[in-house]
Amino acid sequence: MSLTFDIKSININGASHRILLQNENGPCALLALCNVLLLSPQLMSQAGPLIELALAKNEVGLHEIIATLANIGLQMPRSAHSDVDRLLQLLPQLHTGLSINPIFNGSFEDGDEMALFRLFNVSVVHGWLADYDSDPLQYEHICKYSYEGAQKALIEAYDIQHGNIAATEQNRAVIEDAGFIKSFLARSATQLTECGLEHLKELLLENSYAVMFRNDHFSTIFKNDNELFVLVTDLGFKNDASVVWQSLKSVNGSQDSFFTGNFIPATFRRSSTQASSMTTSGARVHASNPFEDPMASHTNASGTDPNFMTDEQYARQLQEQEDARVARNIQRNYEAANAKRNSSNGNKSKAEKDTKKKSGSHKRKRDKLKKSCVVM
């Protein structure tokens, strides 16, 4: 059975729009791309077939989305250096996941995935930057690395320090870089930094849309009155017309809150549906009340309702939960890579010992045969 995605009607500064919502298994890269096409006035002419599809239904199938995007892509002016057919082959992969590699200077490692977004004239941005102003030394050691490159450097440094790779003048620099990389990753587990926020504000034009990559997740970002807002596409808010945006003012969610389509602060009472479905990463939250402090009283700002939570408190709790998840994933990936290498080295050592043991056994056997032989 093909996946289907609910459609929500929203109003942004007096204009009506339709957006695609993300369920628990939602392909965030695909939905973020579609929502930029559905909302951006600059892309309205090329996005006509997708807009018509969203207007005609209350839910849309995955195959319909991919077919519509493919038709739009085929109508786009072809660059002399782009293989449109190859790019369109990547569209189904937007459903299962997209490999994208941010560099800590604010750019991305280029490839077919980035070219696919360029085909639709959609920008992809991130705010996972090292800060030159506050720590120029760290920036010097960090800015040349992408996320994947940083992981490889950490593994290489580990191998050098444990004698698995011979130390040279060149790879000694990797060991030095690794120390800065560990510190940077530990302090930016949300894949967003303070200077990254400023970078996004400078990069995005006023009233412009883009796809933002953060926490291994793609979302639709918008700049309004020099402030950043992320489109709320969680299925739990389908029936709440007052919640359209979540502000992006802090790296940990402490200053973020929810807004209406007209960028007026929205206050809501957290429902059981929102409690189970709302998440910044698209992964379902499994907890009866994951935001409750066990040491706290059941009274709150409302004075009566223990389920009441302001939008700012809710956003902060969600971001803290997401920060912890991403930090655990980074640590697990690093430990798994080291364990794999240790296991490989251990197996190699065992094989060498077995070979030596067998060789010694054969030698003793030959010596014994020689002693038992009688020379005539």
Q: How far is CA 350 from CA 67, 201, 341, 346, 347, in A?
A: 54, 56, 14, 6, 5
If DSSP codes are grouped into helix, strand and coil, which group holds residue 302? coil
Of residues 345 and 265, more confidently modeled: 265
Q: Looking at per-residue confidence, does 27 or 347 come out higher? A: 27
Question: Which is higher by pLDDT, 30 or 25?
Answer: 30
Least confident of 5-14, 22-31, 185-194: 22-31
The residue behind tokens 């293989």 is: 83
Confidence of residue 281 (pLDDT cuts 50, 70, 90): very low
Q: Which of 23-27, 54-58, 292-296 has the highest mean pLDDT?
A: 54-58
Same domain, 170 and 208: no
Q: Is residue 330 part of a domain?
A: no
Residue 67: pLDDT band by 50, 70, 90 thresholds? Answer: very high
Q: Is 211 found in the same domain as 88?
A: yes
Residue 140 — pLDDT band, cuts 50, 70, 90?
Answer: very high
Higher-pLDDT residue of 55 and 315 is 55
pLDDT at 267: 72
Q: What percentage of residues in the chain have a pLDDT greater than 70?
A: 69
Do the domain assignments include residue 56? yes
Q: Both 113 and 238 in a single domain?
A: yes
Q: Indicate whether 171 and 279 sit together in one domain.
A: no
* Average pLDDT of the segment spanning 6-28: 90
Looking at the fold, whether 152 and 239 belong to one and the same domain comes out as: no
pLDDT at 87: 79
When pLDDT is averaged across residues 123-151 and rounded to a whole number, the result is 95
Per-residue pLDDT band for 293 (boundaries 50, 70, 90) equals very low
Asked whether residue 113 is assigned to any structural domain, the reply reads yes
Residues 207 and 170 in one domain: no
Catalytic residues: 28, 217
Last residue in a domain, options 284, 303, 319: 319
| Residue 270 reports pLDDT greater than 70 | no
pLDDT of residue 26: 64
- pLDDT category at 288 given cuts 50, 70, 90 is very low
Task: Report the C-alpha gap between 16 and 98 in whole angstroms.
Answer: 30
Instruction: Read off φ and ψ for residue 323, nearest 5 degrees.
Output: -60, -45
180 and 217: one domain? Answer: no
- Residue 327 exposed, middle or buried by CB count within 10 Å (0-12, 13-18, 19+): middle
User: Domain span at residue 160?
Assistant: 136-187
Does 286 lie in the same domain as 177? Answer: no
**Is position 36 within any domain?**
yes
Q: How confident is the model at residue 339 (pLDDT cuts 50, 70, 90)?
A: low
What digits encode the pLDDT tens for the residues 306-324? Answer: 444 555 555 555 555 555 5
pLDDT at 152: 94
Domain boundary among 298, 319, 340: 319
Average pLDDT over residues 40-46: 94
Q: How much is the pLDDT for 35?
A: 98
Residue that is last in its domain, among 155, 170, 187:
187
Decide if 376 is inside a domain: no
Give domain status of residue 88, yes or no.
yes
Q: Which residue has the higher pLDDT, 222 or 287?
A: 222
Q: Which of 39-48, 110-119, 227-236, 367-376 has the lowest mean pLDDT?
A: 367-376
Residue 345 pLDDT > 80, yes or no? Answer: no
Residues 195-210 have pLDDT tens digits of: 999 999 999 999 999 9
Cα–Cα dist 9/39, whole Å: 11
d(CA 219, CA 213): 7
Q: Check pLDDT > 90 for residue 139.
A: yes
Considering the chain, what is the average pLDDT of its residues?
A: 78
**Structural tokens at position 235:** 């299925």
Q: Domain total for the chain?
A: 2
Q: Residue 277: what pLDDT?
A: 41
Question: Is the residue at 369 inside a domain?
Answer: no
Of 150 and 344, the structure prediction assigns the larger pLDDT to 150
| 141 and 287 housed in the same domain | no
Residue 196 and residue 287 share a domain: yes
Question: Is residue 95 located within the same domain as residue 241?
Answer: yes
Residue 183 has pLDDT above 90, yes or no: yes
What pLDDT score was predicted for residue 75? 85
216, pLDDT greater than 90: no
Same domain, 44 and 175: no
What's the rounded Cα separation, in Å, for the pair 114 and 289?
39
On whether the CB atoms of residues 17 and 50 are closer than 8 A, the answer is: no
Long-range contacts of 23-26 (CB under 8 A, 24+ apart): 23/235, 24/235, 24/277, 24/282, 24/283, 24/284, 26/233, 26/235, 26/282
